[in-house]
Amino acid sequence: TFKQPPSNPPPRPPPDARKKQP
Amino acid sequence: GPIVLQTYRAIADYEKSSTTEMALKAGDMVDVVEKSENGWWFCQLKNKRGWVPAAYLEPMDGPDESEEQEPNYAGEVYKVQKSYTAVEEDELTLKEGDTIEVIHKLLDGWWVIRKDETTGYYPAMYLQKGGEVDT
């Protein structure tokens, strides 16, 4: 069994490294 | 059969902020073990394991379109489980108990929601399904 995920929201996407679109 | 884990690449450095998280360096290749709807993914990298923000990962096998739901402009009713104050301009500030509609469930755990006539991002982990729309 895994530990529970963190109780705080994950950070927003990094501003200068957006996911590349195909 | 064997479980085939999906490989993702870190798109930026990530410093962990709690013990169950895993730090990343841009370019790290991680195997994703579990994807939480709230945007934290449980990953392994060599002998390390921990939760990583999905927003910092990109799939190695092409775009992830199949996983991401389409926007639902009709909206799905959720209740705010925990208050949150907007940090970025595109986020919404809401109070516990507010009723809102979810328009787009993004994999990074920041969902596009609508409250009255306003739309913005809100942490998925602070939302709970169900409730009636306030009128």
In which residue are the tokens 């929601």 written?
A: B113
Overall residue count recorded for chain A in this entry? 22
* Interface probe, candidates A1, A19, A20, chain B, greatest B C-beta count within 10 A: A19
How do residues B79-93 score in pLDDT, each as one tens digit? 999 999 999 999 999
> In the 8-state DSSP scheme, what is residue B95?
-
Could A5 and B51 be called an inter-chain contact, meaning their C-beta atoms sit closer than 8 Å?
yes
How do residues A2-18 score in pLDDT, each as one tens digit? 578 999 999 998 876 55
How do residues B16-25 score in pLDDT, each as one tens digit? 999 999 999 9
Q: Is a pLDDT exceeding 90 seen at residue B26?
A: yes
Q: Is a pLDDT exceeding 50 seen at residue B127?
A: yes
Q: How far apart are CA B15 and CA B5, in angstroms?
A: 24
Could A12 and B55 be called an inter-chain contact, meaning their C-beta atoms sit closer than 8 Å?
yes
For residue B124, which phi and psi values (nearest 5 degrees)? -60, -30
> What 3-state DSSP class applies to B41?
strand
Q: How far apart are CA A18 and CA B42, in angstroms?
A: 21
Half-sphere exposure for B118 (CA within 13 Å, toward CB): 11
How do residues B44-90 score in pLDDT, each as one tens digit? 999 999 999 999 999 987 665 567 788 999 999 999 999 999 999 99
Could B108 and A4 be called an inter-chain contact, meaning their C-beta atoms sit closer than 8 Å?
no
Chain B closest CA to A13's CA: distance in Å? 5
In which residue are the tokens 């990583």 written?
A: B52
Could A4 and B110 be called an inter-chain contact, meaning their C-beta atoms sit closer than 8 Å?
no
pLDDT score of A18:
54
The ipTM value here is: 0.84
